Amino acid sequence: SQTIHQWPATLVQPVGSPLSLECTVEGTSNPNLYWYRQAAGRGLQLLFYSVGIGQISSEVPQNLSASRPQDRQFILSSKKLLLSDSGFYLCAWSPTGAEGYTFGSGTRLTVV
């Protein structure tokens, strides 16, 4: 069966520090991968999606970037965090994008 792993679960980082969040999927190949941010009162915001290795589409220009170095690995990064980067970050996958997505357990990021 397919599983999605996301870590860390909680992260407190100072302003200006770098960020790296990792997501991996097991039990499937060539999945569509997604990074979302969920902020109170704003719902789920799609940040990046990827349909294959090295293929990244950005939905919201901002302080973040994403990479897909391996088929089942998706990384969210920042060189310098801002206070506004605080939120609940969710990774998700789907076989082709046409199905409902399966979400990871999320990372709660607090920038102080």
Partner 1 sequence: QKEVEQDPGPLSVPEGAIVSLNCTYSNSAFQYFMWYRQYSRKGPELLMYTYSSGNKEDGRFTAQVDKSSKYISLFIRDSQPSDSATYLCAMRSSGYSGAGSYQLTFGKGTKLSVIP
What are the helix and strand counts (H, E) for the chain? 0, 11
Structure tokens at 95: 């076989």
Query: Does 32 help bind partner 1 (rule: CB under 8 A)?
Result: yes
HSE of 70, CA atoms in CB hemisphere, 13 A: 8
Query: Does 6 help bind partner 1 (rule: CB under 8 A)?
Result: yes
Query: Does 49 help bind partner 1 (rule: CB under 8 A)?
Result: yes
Query: Does 70 help bind partner 1 (rule: CB under 8 A)?
Result: no
Cβ closest to partner 1, residue 33 vs residue 75: 33
Rg of the chain (C-alpha set):
13
- For partner 1, the binding residues (CB under 8 A) are 6, 32, 41-44, 46, 49, 51, 55, 57, 88, 90, 92, 96-106, 108
